Amino acid sequence: MSKDDSASRFRTLFNLPDEHQLTLSGSRSETRNGQEYESHWLEEHDAQSRLIARFRTWTRQSLRPPYRTQIGWERYSLKGELLDREVRYSRREGTNYLH
């Protein structure tokens, strides 16, 4: 995924005003302890190109059963205060499976 694709996808997720811009400032991906981690840092700029907030997004995918996935994002002020957060966990449909 290119930087522009990532920024566009996250811009929609965060429901930013049309005049605000979102730029990808860093990414990291690693695998450890049977988990695959990916995180992105993004910067939100207002219509005057001033930096107004930073976002961190992440996914964590288990590579072993039960193959759970965690997806989340956080919005931070310029002072580093957490302003908003959302975390979603995968779940299986029904109960017809083995552990």
**Quick check: is 54 in a domain?**
yes
Q: Check residue 65 and give its pLDDT.
A: 83
Please state the pTM of the whole predicted model: 0.77
**Quick check: is 94 in a domain?**
no
Q: Check residue 5 and give its pLDDT.
A: 64
**Quick check: is 81 in a domain?**
yes
Backbone angles phi, psi at 50, to 5 degrees: -85, 135
Query: Structure tokens of 7?
Result: 């920024």
Query: Structure tokens of 36?
Result: 């695959």
Per-residue pLDDT tens digits for 52-93: 999 999 999 999 887 889 999 999 999 999 999 999 998 766
> For the chain, how far is it from start to end, CA to CA, in angstroms?
33
Domain count, the chain: 1
45, 21 contact by CB (below 8 A): yes
Cα 34 from Cα 57, distance rounded (Å):
20
Q: Check residue 26 and give its pLDDT.
A: 93
Q: Check residue 64 and give its pLDDT.
A: 87
Per-residue pLDDT tens digits for 14-41: 889 989 999 889 999 999 999 999 999 9
Query: Structure tokens of 33?
Result: 């302890």
Which structural domain, as residue segments, surrounds residue 37? 3-89
